[in-house]
Each structure stands twice: as structure tokens, then as C-alpha cells.
Amino acid sequence: MSIRIKLLLSYTGMLVISLLMFAVTAGLFTIATTGDIGGFRDFYKVHYQLNPLTEQEESIFLELKYLAKNEPDSLQDKQLLRDYDFKLRTVRAGLYVRRESNPIFESFTFNQPDLEKALPPYDLDNNQIRNTFNIGERFYAYAKFDFKFTDGAKGSVFVIRERSPFAELSRKLLPVLSFLLIGVLVVANMLLYRWITRSVVKPLDLLRDSAERIKEGNLQFKLELHSKDEIGQLNEAFENMRERLQQSVDLRLQDEESRKELISNISHDLRTPITSIKGYIEGIRDGVADTPEKMDKYVGIIYAKAVDLDKLVDELFLYSKLDLKQVKFSMEPVNIVRFLDDCIDELRYTLEDKGIVIDWDGQRTGNAVEVIADLEKLKRTVLNIIGNSLKYMDKAHKRLSVSLQADSEWVTVEVRDNGMGIPAEAVPHIFERFYRAEPSRNLSTGGSGLGLAIARQIIEGHGGSIWVNSELGVGTSVFFTLKRSTNSGRGESE
């Protein structure tokens, strides 16, 4: 059963219960006041008609009724009537006696010229002996008894009491008020039902539609519903979930895209050396290398390409392992100054060979700046960075400078060259895998674009950061930071 139907039933139920309670209360009240199970319809009627007079008035009326039945002529005795009227006046009522259509006695309390006309006609059956009437704005209740005088003339005796106009008014208005009450109940119920369906059912419908959309894979929408109640909170949670889903889908698509790109890059980079190896082997097979020198040259080239291939596969392997966080870092305290010394020493011949002047201020920095690092991987990083400086050097006067700065927490290493520099638009990308600034320009250098990507993975694996400053045609500075070992003394090296 839908919430809407449940709500409708519960509201109707409440309405029916309220009306029943109202009817039962009215019924009980009627029984309590009249001792008669006349039902709600008779409630006000019975109450007023049976009790138009008070108890004392009623007992005087009964005496008069007795007289009218047994000694009707005594009701022509003015003195007797006056006595009775006096008794009635003490309880705020009055007496009226009629013979045919002429009043024999009229209590002066009424002082009402139209009384005669307002009184009911003669009825010997005495069908209705109690009732009310009004003259203008004044209301009266009466008890009446019709009889015959001994001479056969029609006689009527009335005990009349003026009532509060409010009591009469409410008696008249009671049916209207009851209908009004029921109307108000029904309308209030309808309004409440509408309000609840609007604030509960509609938002739920909206949520259901949204869930339906998500099921169909559509996440490109926004749930616009801002209420502060539980439904609003549910909605907010739902919207958050949708956003998260959207993000994860976007991320997955991005991943997918970059995986495709990676595969295409790998195939491309592997194909180049393989194609040349194939070409030279075909040359040898076809007898193009017909002299020992040529043969030597061809084999030399094939070997060099195979080495390139090996290096590329090696780099790819390392990169993917770093990317998947499958490489363990064996951290140890490393004296960064001595470490850089070693690296530069290792490269000294290559550097001299290329005519590069190296400026390394290690000795000035001091001897004992310790960092926490994986020695082997850190070396790979430094060689990749310096390797780039050597590769992208285009000046006649070649310079390379390595420097080091340390504060209490971090050590920053800078490798600066006066090479060709990197175009500004390429700078944000050079740490991406396979990215090469202007590949056409550095075709001859033959890099795969993995060097700096590996360097970044390694440095970030150490908890440090790596960045570059470069000016096209002037030179490039690559910086990286490493955390200082807590054992190394402060200020010692600064």
C-alpha cells in the first residue's frame, strides 16, 4: 500500500473517529440530562422541551395541572391565581390562564402586549405541553396544559419563563454549528493530508525518480530540494552519494583513458627500436653487410638498439611498479652531501667528455646533512635529472650546477643547467609519463619521457616534492626536497 493511500486512510480514520466521539459524547450528554436515549438528533430538542422550566416551576405547574384536571373552575379564582403567580415569581417565572381566547390572568412580570398572539392554540390532546417561543428578541419557555371548564369553555394554563437569548440562540445555531464543526474537521483533514503529501510523498517521489535515473547510468543531474527535515537530510545524503558516484565514474573514465594512452605509448616506443633491429638484421641477411667493417657496424647498431630496448623495458617496469606502489623503499639515513659527491664523481668522465663545467658546492655546505632515503632509488632520481641536463644541453659553454640547502626539517637539492630550457606550456607536464616537450626537437636524444615521471614517483615515495623552473633558451633548474633525518644535528650544515 502506498504512503499516499495510508495517509489518506489514516486521516479519514481520524475524521471518522472524531465524529463518532462527538456523536457519542453528545448522546451520553443527552442521556445524562434527559434520561432518555433519544439520540443526538433529539438532544437539544428534548433537553429544552422536557426541561423548559426549573424544578420548582415544574412542581407548581404540576399542581396547577392537577387543579385543571380535577377542579377546573378553581382556575377562575383570581385570588388563587395571584397566589400561584406570586410563588412562580419568586422562582422567576409567571402564570397565564386563558379562557377561550381571552386571558383570565396574566402575570405582570411579562409586560408583553404580544404574549397572547405568541402563545400556542388550544389542544385538548395536550400533544405538546412544553416548548419555547420568541417575541421579537425575547425568548420564552413554557409548560402548558389545556382543559375544559365545567361549562365546556376551553381553558389553558401556562407557566412561562423568560430565557436568556443566548441559550435560545445556541439552540437554534446548534445544527449549523455541528455542520460547521464537521466541515472544519473535513477541511482541516484535507489540508493536513495535502501538506503531508507535499512535504513527504513528493520529495520521496523525486528521490525515487533520481534513483531510477542513477540505475540507468545517468548521473548528470542535481537534486534540488532544500528542506531542513529528515527528508531534506535524506536528500542531501542522496545528493552526496550521487556526487561521489559521479566523481568515481569520472575517475574511472580518466583511468581508462590514461591506460589506453599508456598502452599506445608503450607499443610505439617499443616498436621504434624493434623496427630498426629488424631492418639491420634483414640487411645482414640480404648480404648488405658484405665487409667485416660493415658487419661490425650493423652488429654494433643492433646491440645499441637492444640496449635501448632493454633500458626502456626496465624503465617501464620500474615505473609501473612505482605507480602501483609495489616497490618497497628501504629507507636509511643517507649523508646527502657525500651521496651527491659520489654521483658527480661517477659522472665526471661523461661530463668532461662533453666539455661540461660542473659547479658543486658540496664542500661549502658542510659534511653531515643526513636525510632518510632509499639510496639506490635516490641515485636513479639524481642520474635521471642530471642525465636530462646533459641530454638537453645546446650551448657551446656548457655549465651544470648542483647545490643544496637545508633547514631544520627539509633538504632541497637543485640541479641547474644552461641548456635549451623547457617551453612554459610544457613545464606543468614534464613529470607526466611519456611526456616529452617538443618531441620533434629532441628526437635525436631519443628519450621515452619516463625519466622525470620515475623521479617524481621516487621523491613522492620519500614524502618529498619535486618541481622545475625553466626559461626557454636559458636553462632549467630541477628542485627536489627530502626529509632530514632527525639524528642529524641542527644548524650543523646550514
Ligand X SMILES: Nc1ncnc2c1ncn2[C@@H]1O[C@H](COP(=O)(O)OP(=O)(O)OP(=O)(O)O)[C@@H](O)[C@H]1O
Shortest spacing between CB 447 and ligand X, in angstroms? 2
Q: Which is nearer to ligand X, 239 or 308 (CB)?
A: 308
Q: Which is nearer to ligand X, 93 or 450 (CB)?
A: 450
Shortest spacing between CB 421 and Mg ion, in angstroms? 15
Q: Rounded to an integer, what distance in angstroms lies between the CA atom of residue 261 and that of residue 452?
A: 18
- Which conformational region is residue 473 in: left (phi greater than 0), alpha (psi within -120 to 50 degrees), or beta? left
> Measured on CA atoms in the order 209, 215, 216, 220, is the torsion positive or negative?
positive
Residue 476 interface partner, choices ligand X, Mg ion, none, CB cut-off 5-8 Å depending on type: ligand X
Report the residue number whose CB is nearest to Mg ion. Answer: 451
Shortest spacing between CB 450 and ligand X, in angstroms? 4
User: Hey, what long-range contacts does 378-382 have (CB within 8 A, 24 or more apart)?
Assistant: 378/334, 378/339, 378/458, 378/462, 378/482, 379/339, 379/343, 380/318, 380/454, 380/455, 380/458, 381/454, 381/455, 381/458, 381/459, 381/480, 382/340, 382/343, 382/413, 382/415
- x/- mask, ligand X, residues 405-444, rule CB under 6 A, reads ------------x-xxxx-------x----xxx----x--
Q: Which is nearer to Mg ion, 107 or 388 (CB)?
A: 388
Interface with Mg ion: number of residues (CB under 5 A): 3
Q: Which is nearer to ligand X, 88 or 454 (CB)?
A: 454
Parallel, antiparallel or unpaired: strands 154-163 and 94-99: antiparallel
Interface with ligand X: number of residues (CB under 6 A): 23
Which residues on adjacent β-strands are paired with residue 482? Answer: 411
Q: Rounded to an integer, what distance in angstroms lies between the CA atom of residue 96 and that of residue 158?
A: 5
Per rule CB under 5 A, is residue 94 in the interface with Mg ion? no
Shortest spacing between CB 338 and ligand X, in angstroms? 24
Shortest spacing between CB 445 and ligand X, in angstroms? 7
- x/- mask, ligand X, residues 353-392, rule CB under 6 A, reads -------------------------------x---xx-xx
Shortest spacing between CB 235 and ligand X, in angstroms? 47
Residue 442 interface partner, choices Mg ion, ligand X, none, CB cut-off 5-8 Å depending on type: ligand X
Parallel, antiparallel or unpaired: strands 356-360 and 398-406: parallel
Shortest spacing between CB 322 and ligand X, in angstroms? 13
Cell of 323: 605507480
Shortest spacing between CB 217 and ligand X, in angstroms? 38
**Helix, strand, or coil here: 355?**
coil
Cell of 233: 537530510
Q: Rounded to an integer, what distance in angstroms lies between the CA atom of residue 405 and that of residue 493?
A: 9
Per rule CB under 5 A, is residue 447 in the interface with Mg ion? yes
Q: Which positions from 365 through 424 interact with Mg ion, judged by CB under 5 A?
A: 388
What single-letter DSSP state applies at residue 250? H
Cell of 322: 612505482
Per rule CB under 5 A, is residue 476 in the interface with Mg ion? no
Contact segment (CB under 5 A) with Mg ion among 195-203, 302-310, 423-431, 449-457 equals 449-457
Q: Which positions from 473 through 492 interact with ligand X, judged by CB under 6 A?
A: 476
Q: Rounded to an integer, what distance in angstroms lies between the CA atom of residue 349 and that of residue 16?
A: 103
Residue with cell 382556575: 75
Q: Rounded to an integer, what distance in angstroms lies between the CA atom of residue 57 and that of residue 222?
A: 79
Binding site for Mg ion (CB under 5 A): 388, 447, 451
Binding site for ligand X (CB under 6 A): 384, 388-389, 391-392, 417, 419-422, 430, 435-437, 442, 447-453, 476
